[in-house]
Amino acid sequence: MYQTILDLLLHKQIQFEKGKIYLFQQTILISPLEYNYFLLKTLESKSLENIIYYSTKETGMKWLEDMIPRYNMDMLQLIKWGNEILSLSGWGILELKDINKDSKIALFSLKDATIALKYGKSDHAVDHLLRGYVASFACKVFGCDMDAVEHKCIAKGDETCEYLVKPANEWDLTNQLVKKQLYNPIENNQIK
């Protein structure tokens, strides 16, 4: 991790100014884990937690739309830097376990998942934010709308969190896990 910080500093890809931090020329914020935890709990109490997923997916897409042409990144570079930045940011240790360009399927795992560990015991997967980031990555790599489902979660008692990503139109929305994680409260006018 220290090498990543040194590389970012050496290449002036992380900069600190009074009141601002830039990472790859984009403004970032550092916030306490408790903010994400309480936001998740508040949204869950109203069945709106997927707002986190869809807003993060959109944010990730915009970030990648800027990063890819600016730095001329290919898929391997995106994987490397995405994993490094998420680990550096404190999310845990992200790894791309499998990717199949033909079937447009990817599988990610997250060890030491900070959100899941903070959340504690749960009967459902809880890391909608990281789910959104891996979905946005897959959208850019495969060139189509992709969605991610967290089918394993540390909060549920699994060893790691795992995110399966595939084309949005290939998910079985009759499956309760899929239905719960891909329900979009914004499109379904649940937000007023």
**pLDDT tens, residue by residue, 142-189:** 999 999 999 999 999 999 999 999 999 999 999 999 999 999 988 866
The phi and psi torsions of 100 (rounded to 5 degrees) equal: -130, 105
Asked if pLDDT for residue 77 goes beyond 90, the answer is: no
pLDDT tens for each residue of 110-120:
999 999 999 99
Tens-digit pLDDT profile for residues 126-151: 999 999 999 999 999 999 999 999 99
Q: Which two tokens stand for residue 150?
A: 């967290």
Q: What is the pTM of this model?
A: 0.89
CA distance 164 to 145: 14
Domains of the chain: 1-30 (no CATH), 32-182 (3.30.1380.20)
**Cα-based angle 63, 69, 71 (whole degrees, multiple of 5):** 90
